[in-house]
Amino acid sequence: MVVDYEGVKLHLAHPDQMPGRWVGQDEVMRQLLAAWLVVDERDVPMNPRLVGKPGVGKTTLACAAGARLEREVYIMQATVDTRPEDLIVQPVIDGPASLRYVASPLATAMLRGGIAVLDEGNRMPEKSWASLAPLLDGRRYVESLVAGIKIKAHPLFRLVATMNDDASTFDLPEYIHSRLQPQILIDFPEKDEEIAILRENLPFADEQILTYVADFLEQAHASEERYTVRDGINVGRYTLKLLAGLDGGGVTRAQLTSAGEFAVTHILGEEALRYARRR
């Protein structure tokens, strides 16, 4: 889609489609939707940050919240190489002596009144965050020096940043930290919620495989290991594939244990095997 904005033709990004839905932990969904709520015409939505270990479902939660509001969702992946122009508008060579201006997923969400998910935001350097400062306060706009335009956010535009709780990230500058509020913490789900999440993502898996994986995760959580449901989904999927090649009627417990331990070892490493064997 192409729109004319202040005399500049902008090529918009396509919305993202995330499979699955948010299962369990209704409280964090309530907190996110509350942060986006506007309670008065003088009010503005907040820009929450979802914080948790990699794989606990931060991006899934953000996309599910957008779907619940029936809005288009646009995911902007942040990296250490993300530049200010990557966040807003990029010039692309389009034939001899011709440029095409391509709006980022974030800028597209601003124009269309969608949900922008700034994924893994604390991997992004301060210079890039600085370009978003006026968007994250009451001004709600960004400036593209490349295209020479100021893009104002649609009234329905909402933003959320996901942030991994690990060592491979930057510290947010204080002036950005104060603009990305509230902080919503996402922890490991309870065992029954993990089984429900596994069932949602592996609806074709036998219940005994899901229970095996949930038991493994429960043991790992008890030892404060960082293995998440995403790890469990990969273990369950690989276990299922290993068992699919077996002939005969049904899978024995010994076969399930063997396949499960093989999957754990080759996905998470031998150090994770101790939690599979504690079952």
CA-based nearest residue to 38, from 155, 166, 144, 187: 155
Place of tokens 């295209």: 147
Same domain (yes/no): 178, 195: no
- 196-202 average pLDDT score: 90
- 182-206 average pLDDT score: 90
State phi, psi for 92 to the nearest 5 degrees. Answer: -125, 130
Same domain (yes/no): 14, 64: yes
Same domain (yes/no): 207, 111: no
Q: How confident is the model at residue 19 (pLDDT cuts 50, 70, 90)?
A: low
Structure token pair of residue 226: 């960082």
Cis status of the peptide bond prior to 182, with omega within 30 of 0 = yes
Same domain (yes/no): 114, 211: no
What is the count of structural domains for the chain? 2
pLDDT greater than 80 at residue 166: no
pLDDT tens digits for range 171-181: 888 999 999 99
What pLDDT is attached to residue 249? 60
Helix 229-244 × helix 253-268 angle, to 10°:
130
pLDDT greater than 70 at residue 279: no
- 105-130 average pLDDT score: 94
Same domain (yes/no): 175, 248: no
Its pTM stands at 0.83
pLDDT tens digits for range 236-274: 999 999 998 766 567 888 999 999 999 999 999 999 999
CB 2 within 8 A of CB 100: no
Same domain (yes/no): 32, 109: yes
Rounded to the nearest integer, the mean pLDDT of the chain is: 90
What pLDDT is attached to residue 132? 95
What pLDDT is attached to residue 248? 57
Same domain (yes/no): 144, 271: no
Domain extent at residue 197: 191-277
Q: How confident is the model at residue 23 (pLDDT cuts 50, 70, 90)?
A: confident
State phi, psi for 43 to the nearest 5 degrees. Answer: -85, 160
Q: How confident is the model at residue 167 (pLDDT cuts 50, 70, 90)?
A: low
What pLDDT is attached to residue 15? 94
What pLDDT is attached to residue 44? 93
Q: Where are the alpha helices (DSSP H) in the chain?
A: 26-36, 58-68, 84-87, 105-112, 126-132, 174-177, 191-201, 207-222, 229-244, 253-268, 273-277
Same domain (yes/no): 53, 151: yes
What pLDDT is attached to residue 245? 73
Where does a domain end: 157, 185, 213?
Answer: 185
What pLDDT is attached to residue 20? 64
Same domain (yes/no): 127, 63: yes
Where does a domain end: 185, 209, 224?
Answer: 185
Alpha carbon distances (Å) from 43 to 107, 132, 148, 189, 197 = 22, 20, 29, 33, 36
Same domain (yes/no): 163, 251: no
Count CB-CB contacts under 10 A for residue 81. 10
Count CB-CB contacts under 10 A for residue 185. 13
pLDDT tens digits for range 56-114: 889 989 999 999 999 999 999 999 999 999 999 998 887 777 788 999 999 999 999 99
CB 71 within 8 A of CB 16: no
159 SS3 class: strand
Same domain (yes/no): 135, 209: no
Same domain (yes/no): 157, 231: no
> What is the CATH classification number for the domain harbouring 59?
3.40.50.300
Where does a domain end: 135, 152, 185?
Answer: 185
Structure token pair of residue 70: 């029936």
Alpha carbon distances (Å) from 232 to 6, 62, 202, 227, 238 = 49, 21, 11, 8, 10
- Using CB atoms within 10 Å of the CB of residue 269, give its burial: 0 to 12 exposed, 13 to 18 middle, 19+ buried: exposed
